[in-house]
Each structure stands twice: as C-alpha cells, then as structure tokens.
Chain A
C-alpha cells in the first residue's frame, strides 16, 4: 500500500487498476497491447472500461507492431513535476501507431532538434517499475527507427 497520500496522488508511476491491468501485464512481456472491442472491432488507446464506439464491455486486445510515427511532440525545458527535474530536456510525444491509435510516450536516443512530426519511430521497453501497490510494469518508449 502507498505510504502517504502524496505518494498515491502525486507519484509519477501509473497505478494499475482493473481497466488497465491487462495492458500493464503485457508490458512485462514486452508487448504493447491495443485494446480491441470483441463486438465491433473498434481499437482504442488508452484502455477503458467499455468500447467508446459501441459501449460493449466485451473487450480484448491485439498486439502492436511497435512501429509508428511522431504525430506531435514537445521538448520539455522546465519540468513541472519534481521527479523529472533531472531529466530536462526530454521529449514528450504522441505516437501514431502503425495500427492507427495514438499513444503518449517519450522519444529517446535522439537530440531534440532532430525530432520532427512524421518521423518514424520504433518501440522499446524501459526498466521495470513498481506502482504504489507494488504491481510491476514497464513503460513503452520510442526511439528513431533504424534506416
């Protein structure tokens, strides 16, 4: 259990809940799982409690290839959350997956001035973390695709 209220509400590690458990379990196997509605086939990210198209709760997933392009990005020069102060500058990006959905992540292994909208990127998984309830997870991140 989290030790303090601050840890629960302000920590930088996601908290695994019922709706996202399958997503985060996938990351431990280095899988990026796109939520897919078994009723209508709609694909959505992030995972939700129901299909945002048909409201069915019969939900599964498909595996993402890990390939995508930069839909938009920002280079953060001033960290607002204290856990990121030592990391500036860092790149927060919205990645359009090859399969369609857009997810938020970081682009790494590249100088900020070399990032552009439309750039091809490839997923990798960062080190294992524990959430406030000691559930393990890994964050999918992206770096420029090798030519």
Chain B
C-alpha cells in the first residue's frame, strides 16, 4: 500500500448525503431519460426538505444509451438551475461513488453548498446502451478485440472470473451463492425487477452466457430509471428533513495497465481505493456493518470482498457460500438486490441502498447499521471507487 498520510485531512465527516431520490426501476415505456433524471432530482429535494433554489452544484453522469458530451449543461438547463459548480463524469460503473466524492470535495472546498449528483437512463425501453467504438474510440484495443467476438460485458469478465477461480479453487456454487443471497434481499424489495426465490440448484441449471458465467451471474442487462443524491455540509445536513449519512471516507483508484498487468484478473484497484477510504475515515473492515458491492458480476463481488479486506485473498468464495452476505450474516450485502436482481442503474441503485441502510430505511434493514461501504467499479477492472458512510459524524 502506498504510505498515504492525511496531515491536513479536512474531508471526513464534514459533508453528508442529505437527500436521495429514485424513480421506479425497470420497464418505463414512454419516459425519456431526461424525465427520469429530473424526477429523481425532484424526489431527492423533497426527501431532503430542500427547494430547487437551494441547489448550487450539479454533477451528472451521462446516460449510456446517449453519452452526451454536454449532458450536465443540458440537464441543468432543463432544471432551470443557476450553479456555482458544474461537472460531468464518466468512469464506467465507478462513476456514481466517484461523483459523490467529487461533490463532497466541492462542498468542502467552498465551491458550492448544496450539490446534486444525478444519473438516469431509459436503456430498457429506449435506445440500447452503447459500448465499443462509440465510447472506446477507433483503433483502441477494447474495440479491436470485437474482431475475436469479445463484445459485451460477460465475455470480458468471464476470462477474469476463470483465472480467479482457477487460481483459488473457487467453484460455480460459490459464485451462485452471491446471486442467491442478493435475490433473497430483492424478494423483500417491492421495487426489484427479479423477486422470485432462487435456489442454488436452480442457479446450477441456469444456462451459460460465457463460461463460467451464467445469466444469473450477470447484472440485469438494462433498466430504465434514475437516482439523484444531494451532498451538502454536515452542518447544513443536520437541519434538514432526514438523518444525514455522513461521508466518512472516499477513494478512487485505477489500474490502467490492462492485460500487461497479470494482477488485473484477480485483484481490482478497489484494494487501493478502499485503503484510502478506510484511512481517511479512521475505520477498519471490521467496523463495517453493511456493504453494497458493485455487482455487475458475481465474480466481481467476490474479488471486491477480498480487495476490501473482509477476508483473505482467495477466501471470498467460502465466505459467500457460508452465508455471510445474507441479512443476518456477518456482512449483509446488496440488501436491495443489487444490480443482479434489483436493477441495472450502473451502481446508482447500489449507492441509493447504501444511504437507506444508514438511515434505517431499507426493506432488508441491518439492525443498528452504523457504518456502510459502497463500491463502484468501471471499465472492466480499470477504475474503482469506495464510499464509507456513517450514521454519526466522525
């Protein structure tokens, strides 16, 4: 680990999430991404007890179905905002948590007071999500690899999953135990896309997309929906409608060496982003009561559990199979059903659930949850973001 020291640390506990707004998730025909994004913003403001005029910062992630270069400007216009801080970010699935981190920095640095972070998508019923040359660019490795039929997330991830499983003796049943646990949580969430019970036997009968990954190992392909999150100072958050979820630590790390780094397959930059967040917060993995992993794939969850220090390298499969991720286990995780069963809002629904847990509002509430961790992962192991939320200011 790099020897980060935080001699002049001003971030931990000085900012908080004061509001969260979600639309319905799933199939929402006739709704534009704009209408979903603006609805989520309105819901987040109502949740916090704030007015539009209170907002002076806007941070957006463009929809994957329409990756607009001027998304933040356009959305700000539709919302009729006058902002002191404006930003747009896209680092794949790491964006949601990284955007909250950026909002906290902007608030703490005095650039703005009340920042709204928002993402919304109608990729289920509108245009499909775009990947490949549109986002990677002509002649880039990731798009040239399409020539070999390497097109689509599951195929990209499956090679890493295979290498990880081979190295540590992780079984398909262990992968399946992640899907089963998160489905159990989704079954209690009325807003989840998949709520039918799932057994490990049913999982093992499920067809492969790209071996060793089955349909049930992969995130829901696309969902319509939007999430907005309001970040403000801890002081201001205490006067608002809902209990603050204090931002205790954040981290964003990247490994951009791709296949030239063999570790790329069995460890993510989450090992570094979580260390940064833990150090900033003065917390340890054993302090964490509830986790929301970026569950684009079951294998991603297992590797992140290890990167975050919840168990030793190679042990996460056993950890999951022993029931630790279920409500009542030692690390209840993805308690809304996550991207595997609730919705694919590219990590934003996972972030929203992390906030609900700290407020005591989850449909699979962890009793007395004081410390929660939220993960974001983008670009097939390239970028990772970590957020530590606490019920008490630290």
Q: Which of A51-100 contact B (CB under 8 A)?
A: 52, 71-81, 83-84, 87, 90, 92-94
Q: Across the interface, do A102 and B259 meet the contact criterion of CB distance under 8 Å?
A: yes
The answer, yes or no, to whether A139 is at the interface (CB within 8 Å) is yes
Q: Across the interface, do A78 and B265 meet the contact criterion of CB distance under 8 Å?
A: no
Q: Which DSSP category, helix, strand, loop or mixed, fits chain A's interface?
A: mixed
Chain B positions near chain A (C-beta within 8 angstroms)? 130, 132-134, 138-139, 141, 143-152, 154-155, 158-163, 166, 207-213, 257, 259-260, 262, 265
Instruction: Decide yes or no: A74 and B211 within 8 Å by CB, A52-B257, A92-B148, A103-B259 being known contacts.
Output: yes
Q: Across the interface, do B211 and A92 meet the contact criterion of CB distance under 8 Å?
A: no
Q: Which residue of B lies closest to A103 (CB)?
A: B259
Q: Across the interface, do A74 and B210 meet the contact criterion of CB distance under 8 Å?
A: yes
Give the CA-CA distance A106 to B139 in the complex, in Å. Answer: 19
17 other contacts beyond A20-B139, A74-B211, A112-B211, with CB at 8 A cut-off? A8-B133, A12-B151, A14-B143, A71-B163, A74-B159, A76-B149, A76-B209, A77-B208, A78-B207, A80-B152, A87-B149, A92-B150, A93-B159, A101-B259, A102-B262, A104-B148, A139-B148
Give the CA-CA distance A44 to B211 in the complex, in Å. Answer: 28
Q: Across the interface, do A77 and B147 meet the contact criterion of CB distance under 8 Å?
A: no
Give the CA-CA distance A112 to B212 in the complex, in Å. Answer: 12
**Could you say which of A9, A101, A103, A139 contacts B132, with CB atoms under 8 Å apart?**
A9
Bits for A34-62, please: 1 = Cβ < 8 Å to B, else 0.
Answer: 00000000001110000010000000000
Q: Across the interface, do B155 and A73 meet the contact criterion of CB distance under 8 Å?
A: no
Q: Most chain-A CB neighbours within 10 Å: which of B133, B149, B208, B213?
A: B149
Q: Across the interface, do A102 and B260 meet the contact criterion of CB distance under 8 Å?
A: yes
The answer, yes or no, to whether A123 is at the interface (CB within 8 Å) is no
Instruction: Decide yes or no: A14 and B209 within 8 Å by CB, A87-B149, A92-B159 being known contacts.
Output: no
